[in-house]
Amino acid sequence: MREQSSGAGGQRRGGGRSYGRGGHGGPRGGQRAHGHGGPPRGRPGRADHGEHRPHGPRTGLAAELRTLEGAQYGRYKGLVGRWEMPGGETLELVRGQSDPYAPPARVAVHVPGPLAALPPELLTTATRRRALASYLVRQAARAVRGERALRVDAGGQEVLERSSCTVSGEDGSVTLRLGAALPGHGRRIDAREAERLLCRVLPGVVEQALRHPALDAAAVERFVETVEDSVALRDALAGRGLVGFVADGAVLPRRSGVDDRPAAGGGVVPFASPADLRVTIELPHAGPVTGMGVPEGVNLVVGGGFHGKSTLLRALETGIWDHVPGDGRELVVSRNETVKLRAEDGRRVERVDVHAFVDHLPDGSDTSDFSTENASGSTSQAASLCEAVEAGARVLLIDEDTAATNLMIRDARMQSLVAKDREPLTPLVDTIRSLHRDHGVSTVLVMGGSGDYLEVADRVVMMDAYRPSDVTERARAIAAVPTGRHAEAESFPGVVARVPDPASLDAEVRGRSRIRARGEDVLTFGDHEVDLRAVEQIADPRQVTGIGLALELMVRRGLLDGRRPLAEALDLLDEVLADGPTGPLLGIRDEDFAAPRRFETAAAVNRVRGLRMLR
């Protein structure tokens, strides 16, 4: 997989660098830390920048800084490159800062393996290294607390692969990447403060946070084991015919709508599985763990309002990620191919075959090739469902709170009042069984307000005062009494593969690539503002940056080439990122980002307003 090298992509970076795998063969982090961010000193016309650096790291950063006291701010750029620090670590100024108000400079601190002294057994798998890096970067963030100029991206409750810290599996070295607002007196360099930050504070961070001997070894181990158990649990689901698992004792409610830490206090009801759905799974560290297995098929969560239905669904939604010890959801997992859907009126839809759900619209448009700049609640949800299946989703999660009612249900009375030929919508209740039977796509629906799904559900779980019980038998008995409702469809016909036109996914604005995240909600990608508010499984604002970089990577490396269907391009993306997403995405740009899944990346593609799909 190579970019059509040294073409547009190469020129953009001011040279002939290849972003293909060949140029990135090394481990994440490690010796390659210097390879990112373009030419080391930004000199135009220099031919030998890139993979081969003529000189090793320079020495004497502190002395060099002192010579810059009071100099023009722009002279910080002369420091770009690698510096050997007295403690044995390397400090690299990856990208300078043109003026005091520009985005912070990028700094990488590389700690060689012997200095980091990480236990070799914690380095042996990608999962362990991800967990370890996550632990280290949290300690680093703690160590720089109060230093407003230094921005260490530590993340929240999820343990994501992030660019801010990586651990090499080859030599056990650690690379911390951070933003540093380089200090100035107005537009003059404040060298004394710069020296304090770079030559005293950062070495102190290494000393306190990035060396194993300085850490709480038991806490490190617990962190890594927690993540490893979570991964093992998720990996065990498919073999047991499950799509999700919620451990007994798990704490699902969060502190508030804006605080993702676990709810605390006497009112919290820990999860307790109903006997009929109880399974026990053996984990490498925790041993046998018991909880509710959510089976493949059509699952319904019912119960009165405020009884904990949505909270359960949200826990499954985020069960695609691993959680930190103490989160309460460490042992709540769902399959990697789980996608949460919701209605999203106003979104754009580009050439999706939604005819299974929407047909004979009043304006006569062809819904097997449906586009709109302004979807309704129901058409947006229908499109999102088809797009998720197109991208490879195997489990769909839907909550009545955020679903379009008319896409979900139409009861017998409404069927008699409104003739089918006047109603464009076919409710999901009529295709949901076929989705599983014919396409292997399971569902978990929260639906407290309509009994029509009782007929099509394989399992019905009732939440009552936050306690689940299996009411499948009772639901079957109730559903055996006919309501007079008739099915409006026999099956779900499948999805049509679409081919994105890469020319419509341009990250460049006036010759420079522009990728920016506004919280978890908006990705600025070139000229496009991509609204991601409805993409609810984005767990971290930095994942939005990751999505932007993944999109640019797909275009630059020709994964999207105007011939390849989106799903195949996503397969290739997964391959490129398989050895750890950090390396290839850092090759696009040195930024704080967290790795996204293919589904969030696809969701972003589908929401680019100028996107053109070929079919």
User: Residues interacting with ligand ADP, by CB under 6 A?
Assistant: 252-253, 263, 267-269, 303, 305-311, 463, 466
> Of 256 and 480, which has the nearer Cβ to ligand ADP?
256
- Smallest gap from Cβ 365 to Mg ion, in A, equals 34
Q: If contact means CB under 5 to 8 A according to the sort of partner, which of Mg ion, ligand ADP, none does residue 267 touch? A: ligand ADP
> Of 216 and 401, which has the nearer Cβ to Mg ion?
401
CA angle 529, 586, 5 (to 5 degrees): 90
> Of 209 and 252, which has the nearer Cβ to ligand ADP?
252
| Footprint on residues 482-511 left by Mg ion (CB under 5 A) | none
In angstroms, rounded to a whole number, what is the distance separating the alpha carbons of residues 25 and 1? 12
Q: Which helix (H) or strand (E) holds 479?
A: helix 472-479
- Smallest gap from Cβ 401 to Mg ion, in A, equals 4
Give 418's contacts (C-beta < 8 A, 6+ positions apart): none
Q: If contact means CB under 5 to 8 A according to the sort of partner, which of Mg ion, ligand ADP, none does residue 179 touch? A: none
- Residue keyed to tokens 């300085």: 214
By CB under 5 A, residue 401 contacts Mg ion: yes
8 Å CB contact between 529 and 508? no
Q: If contact means CB under 5 to 8 A according to the sort of partner, which of Mg ion, ligand ADP, none does residue 405 touch? A: none
Strands (E), 96-152: 105-111, 150-151
8 Å CB contact between 489 and 571? no
Q: If contact means CB under 5 to 8 A according to the sort of partner, which of ligand ADP, Mg ion, none does residue 226 touch? A: none
Largest CA distance in the chain: 87
In angstroms, rounded to a whole number, what is the distance separating the alpha carbons of residues 558 and 564? 9
> Of 61 and 446, which has the nearer Cβ to ligand ADP?
446
- Smallest gap from Cβ 104 to ligand ADP, in A, equals 37
Give the single-character DSSP code of 249.
T
User: How far does the chain reach from its first CA to its final CA, in angstroms?
Assistant: 23
Token pair of 475 as six digits:
């639901």
- Smallest gap from Cβ 259 to ligand ADP, in A, equals 11
In angstroms, rounded to a whole number, what is the distance separating the alpha carbons of residues 267 and 47? 66
- Smallest gap from Cβ 561 to ligand ADP, in A, equals 44
The residue of the chain with the least Cβ separation from Mg ion equals 310
Among 18, 97, 310, 318, contact with Mg ion (rule: CB under 5 A): 310
- CA 575, distance to chain mean position in Å, is 16
Using the rule CB under 5 A, give the single segment among 6-14, 109-117, 209-217, 303-311 that binds Mg ion: 303-311
Q: If contact means CB under 5 to 8 A according to the sort of partner, which of Mg ion, ligand ADP, none does residue 601 touch? A: none
Query: What type of residue is 535?
Result: V
Give 188's contacts (C-beta < 8 A, 6+ positions apart): 70, 71, 72, 73
Using the rule CB under 5 A, give the single segment among 29-37, 116-124, 349-357, 395-403 that binds Mg ion: 395-403
| Footprint on residues 237-256 left by Mg ion (CB under 5 A) | none
- Smallest gap from Cβ 269 to ligand ADP, in A, equals 4
- Smallest gap from Cβ 310 to Mg ion, in A, equals 3
Q: If contact means CB under 5 to 8 A according to the sort of partner, which of ligand ADP, Mg ion, none does residue 487 touch? A: none
Q: Phi/psi of residue 243, each to 5°?
A: -110, -15
By CB under 5 A, residue 334 contacts Mg ion: no
| Footprint on residues 179-208 left by Mg ion (CB under 5 A) | none
Could you please report the per-residue DSSP string of 532-557?
A: -TT-TT--SHHHHHHHHHHHHHHHHT
> Of 40 and 308, which has the nearer Cβ to Mg ion?
308
> Of 315 and 499, which has the nearer Cβ to ligand ADP?
315
Could you please report the per-residue DSSP string of 263-315?
A: P-STT-------GGGEEEEEETTTEEEEEEEEESSEEEEEE-TTSSHHHHHHH
At 165, is the secondary structure helix, strand, or coil? strand
Give 210's contacts (C-beta < 8 A, 6+ positions apart): 109, 111, 116, 136, 139, 140, 174, 176
- Smallest gap from Cβ 479 to ligand ADP, in A, equals 21
By CB under 5 A, residue 402 contacts Mg ion: no
Using the rule CB under 5 A, give the single segment among 159-167, 301-309, 429-437, 481-489 that binds Mg ion: 301-309
- Smallest gap from Cβ 449 to Mg ion, in A, equals 10
Using the rule CB under 5 A, give the single segment among 158-166, 304-312, 490-498, 513-521 that binds Mg ion: 304-312
Strand-pairing partners, residue 333, are: 245
Q: Which of 83, 81, 223 is nearest to 159 (CA)?
A: 223
Number of chain residues interacting with Mg ion (CB under 5 A): 3
> Of 269 and 503, which has the nearer Cβ to ligand ADP?
269
- Smallest gap from Cβ 262 to ligand ADP, in A, equals 10
Q: Which residues bind Mg ion (CB under 5 A)?
A: 309-310, 401
